[in-house]
Structure 1
Amino acid sequence: MLRVMTSRNFLTIDDFDIRGKTILLRVDMNSPMDTQGHILDDMRIKSHIATLKDLESAKVVLLAHQSRPGKKDFTTMKPHAHLLSRYLGKQVTYVDDIFGTFAKTHIASMEDGDVIMLENVRFYSEESLERTPAEQANTYMVKKLAPFVDIFLNDAFAVAHRSHLSVVGFTEVLPSGAGRVMEKELVSLDRGVKGGERPSIFVLGGAKVDDSLRVTENVLTSGGADRVLLTGVVANVALAASGVNIGKVNMDFIKSQGYENQIEKARGLLAKFKDRIGLPKDVALNDNRERVEVHISELNSDSLPINDIGLETIVDYTNEIQNSKTVVLNGPAGVSEIEDFALGTHEIIKAAIKSDFSIIGGGHISVEVAHLGLEHRFSHISTGGGACIDYLAGEKLPGVESLKAAYIKYQEAKKL
């Protein structure tokens, strides 16, 4: 069953003879839904089509979740199965059970090519407990389902940073590998974070200052990036750290978001990495929704809200980006929901597609990429969210580490 063709440190679909086998496939189909239970954005559902197409000769059992307990959209997987049926052009059977007799009977009666969707795994209270793979392997879900399947594939990169039952538990007891989404995420992000072709540039923005500074520290320390260009709120924090008076209203916003303590962190990174971190030369202030360009030397305590990088910075950043070989973007450069302050974000996006290898790390900037209709011009757009940020920051993701452990285990078994 196991062929071990890969040169990577995890197995993929290509390493298994999947014909006639029963595959337990963990997917991420968590989608925004309206109050009537209609799915509003099917991007994550569609993302797994390539994996499912490559498993057409097998019997596929889908494990997935929708939202979490307490949320209004915490509901069944029935709408997801319905949409997936349409995209696959064949019936995806929704099973109102996870590991009980009803679910096991359906799995046992499957024929090659069949696809079933089990119920929302988060309906089972133990699913969301953070435990080690060995502990998760000892749960009822694993003990009940594992005997009915041959191979476990994890295609849910977006939850790979969670040591949840359905993410890591089955890797302890079944031959395990990555689906196409997981495989592409890891290969693409590795090329970005470990340094692909040079020069390699990261452009970090948005409002999650702590995440951006973690990524900055990791990629500059590891050598994964030659330069990091800062935009958005994280740029304001770094400007304040460099001694610029960004204005009371902007400082108050930083404090309101709980990021005042990140100024000292930014100061340390600027001292350590110096000109490897790029800061805005000018910014765009919001004067009653009108864009006002101001050089950072003109900022003072009474300055208006900074809502974008300025024109001079846009020119400098875009020139550097389009002349780079590898570019990773994460987070918008400004308040891109307001048209006049979307300029920096949009120009950076347009510059990035001119590089040889371009990655969208996630966040609101992916919405702007879609708004511009440029999704297909990027080498990779991550669906990972928090998992992507953690990976770029050098954190070990439990879902990925469990696949690596499974690879080692079955490599050792092959030698016996």
Structure 2
Amino acid sequence: MAWKTLDDIDMAGKIVLTRVDLNVPVDDGRVADATRIERIVPTVRDILDRGGKPVLLAHFGRPKGKPNPDYSLTVVREPLAEALGVPVTFHPDCIGAEARATVEEMREGEVVLLENTRFHAGEEANDAGFAEELAKMGDIYVNDAFSAAHRAHASTEGLARRLPSAAGRLMEAELSALEKALGSPERPVVAIVGGAKVSTKLDLLANLVRKVDHLVIGGGMANTFLAAEGIDVGRSLAEHEMASTVRKIMAAADEAACEILLPVDVVVAHELKPGVETRVVSADACPADQMILDAGPRTIDKITAILAEARTLIWNGPVGAFETTPFDAATVAAAQKAAELTKAGHLISVAGGGDTVAALNRAGVTDDFTYVSSAGGAFLEWMEGKTLPGVAALGG
């Protein structure tokens, strides 16, 4: 799909409504992690450098369509101004005559931040009237919030239909990375999919088996696959009721010539806690009173061998219970191998999802991947092959 970027639109003297992701974690009234703020800086600075006047639109939390001081964007104004290095004016609404007056009074080099779009029920309903009110605020629309692109909201989809529109730098980078990973990838393509439950990733698995050459299954999901093959997984986390569904996925993979890699050996223990006694056993030899908590060394060797032959990697979900040492070994080993291959120019590596980002951070390799998406639901829906309304509207 073709979409315009900041390079395609004349912004000089124009008010640029810029949808950004400022849904940051807050602790005791202070921003606890400014990563999402830092990621929008290139877009805002570029608009300023091109003579545009950036007016930022964002949601924060779930205020359920009405004003709630607990979800006010005032909390991000100071860290936003610090990150941008320019003054940021805050207005306590995102529509209305007073908000428009604040915007019209903007000086060159200044940024305006409008209050939480979700303080209005029309935002999540994608109400035409609310979208029209937002559109009155500016001349151009830029979407830099891929993380919200899977929602057909007024500030993500409705506005793009009403003003000349473009993707911001973060959105552009995300879409380019995703296109390289699944749209027109270099082959072989490997997907690593982990996490607790198969039931939450059915659409994802159904799409991937048709798109990738190798599908590595990890985490609790791998236990469900093993159980579906008739293997006793002891007290491991597994969805035994998903057995018939898993067998259909495996049949679809066979038909599409997609190789599914399941653990051949596993790390087991009586409980999930640090310092617990562990054993490595074959995947089909989990003791009845123990649980599988990570992939074993032979499985790690198989994963790294597949990665060594791959040209493209897509990763969503850890391979084991990575939050607890020593059950992070397989995830860390795979992440470090992928990072090594990426740095050597042999692999395009794209990863996303909250647990995945945390796992890559734990392995110390986040900056070495080709692209790591901070978007959760949007990244997952893209991997599932679904159309993202906020992206589709930019191409309309």
- The TM-score with structure 1 as length reference comes to 0.87
Q: Distance in 2 between matches of 1:396 and 1:369?
A: 27
Distance 2:330 2:162 in 1: 49
Q: What is the match of residue 58 of structure 1?
A: 52
Structure 1 residue aligned with 2:303: 317
Alignment deviations for residues 256-306 of structure 1 (CA, whole Å, 9 cap, x no partner): xxx444332211111222361111101111235232111012135x14121
Alignment match, 1:385: 376
Q: CA deviation at 1:373?
A: 2.7
- 2-side partners of 1:62 and 1:235: how far apart? 43
Unaligned 5+ segments in structure 2 are none
- 1:160 matched to 2:149? The reply is yes
Match of 1:173 in 2: 162
Alignment partner for residue 227 of structure 2, among 240, 244, 250? Answer: 240
- Conserved? CA contact 2:286–2:292, under 8 Å: no
Question: Kindly tell me: are residues 390 and 12 of structure 1, through their superposed partners in 2, closer, same or farther at Cα, counting changes over 3 Å?
Answer: same
The equivalent position to 2:117 in structure 1, one of 109, 115, 121, is 121
- 2:35 corresponds in structure 1 to 43
Cα distance 1:70–1:285, how it changes in 2: closer, same or farther (>3 A)?
farther
The aligned residue for residue 263 of structure 1 is 243
CA distance in 1, matches of 2:268, 2:338: 25
Question: 211-220 vs 330-339, which deviates more?
Answer: 211-220
Matched residues in 1 for 2:55 and 2:85: separation?
Answer: 17
Counterpart-to-counterpart distance in 2, 1:80 and 1:42? 9
Shift of residue 210, structure 1, vs aligned partner? 3.2
Out of 277, 280, 284, the position equivalent to 2:263 is 280
Paired residue total: 380
Q: Counterpart of 1:93 in structure 2: which amino acid? A: T
Task: Read off the aligned partner of 1:49 and give its amino acid letter.
Answer: V
Q: Is the 8 A contact 1:33 1:73 kept in 2?
A: no
Find the counterpart in structure 2 of residue 307 from structure 1: 293
Question: 1:67 pairs with 55, 61, 71, which one?
Answer: 61
More displaced, 23-32 or 163-172? 163-172
The partner residue of 1:108 within 104, 109, 131 is 104
Q: Judge conservation of contact 1:291–1:341 (CA < 8 Å) in 2.
A: no
Residues 342 and 216 of structure 1, relative CA distance in 2, 3 Å threshold: same
Task: Look up the match of 1:147.
Answer: 136
Preserved CA contact (<8 Å) 2:185 2:312: yes
Return the offset for 1:101: 2.2
Give the deviation of 1:68 after TM superposition: 0.5
Instruction: State the alpha-carbon separation in 2 of the partners of residues 284 and 298 from structure 1.
Output: 11
Cα deviation digits, residues 203-247 of structure 1 (max 9, x gap) = 1101242344422221222x3x11111101111111112221212
Between the aligned partners of 1:330 and 1:374, the Cα distance in structure 2 is 15
Indicate if the aligned counterparts of 1:212 and 1:234 stay in contact, CA closer than 8 A: no
What is the SS of the residue equivalent to 2:29?
coil
- Contact 2:332-2:362 at 8 Å conserved across structures: no
Distance change (3 Å), C-alpha of 1:125 and 1:58: same
Q: Return the TM-score normalized by structure 2.
A: 0.91
Counterpart Cα distance in 2 of 1:33 and 1:271: 45
What RMSD, in angstroms, separates the aligned Cα atoms of the two structures? 1.9
- Is 1:186 the equivalent of 2:175? yes
343-352 or 94-103, larger mean C-alpha shift:
94-103
Unpaired stretches in structure 1, ≥5 consecutive residues? 1-7, 406-416
Paired with 1:195 and 1:294, the residues of 2 have a C-alpha distance of 39
Find the counterpart in structure 2 of residue 375 from structure 1.
Answer: 366
* Amino acid in the other structure paired with 2:388: L
Question: Residue 331 in 1 paired to residue 327 in 2?
Answer: no
Deviations 1:170-193 (A, max 9, x none): 112111121111111111112112
Q: Which residue of 1 aligns with 2:19?
A: 26
| 1:312 positional shift | 0.8
C-alpha contact 1:204 1:228 (8 A) present in aligned 2? yes
Whole-Å Cα distance in 2 between the matches of residues 165 and 350 of structure 1?
Answer: 41
Distance of aligned partners of 1:272 and 1:281 in 2 relative to their CA distance in 1, 3 Å threshold: same
Report what 2:327 is aligned to.
341
SS of 1:400 mapped into structure 2: helix
**CA displacement 1:149-180 (0-9 Å, x = unmatched):** 11111111111111111111111211112111
- Closer, same or farther: CA 206–142 of 1 in aligned 2, 3 Å: same
* 2:395 counterpart SS class: helix
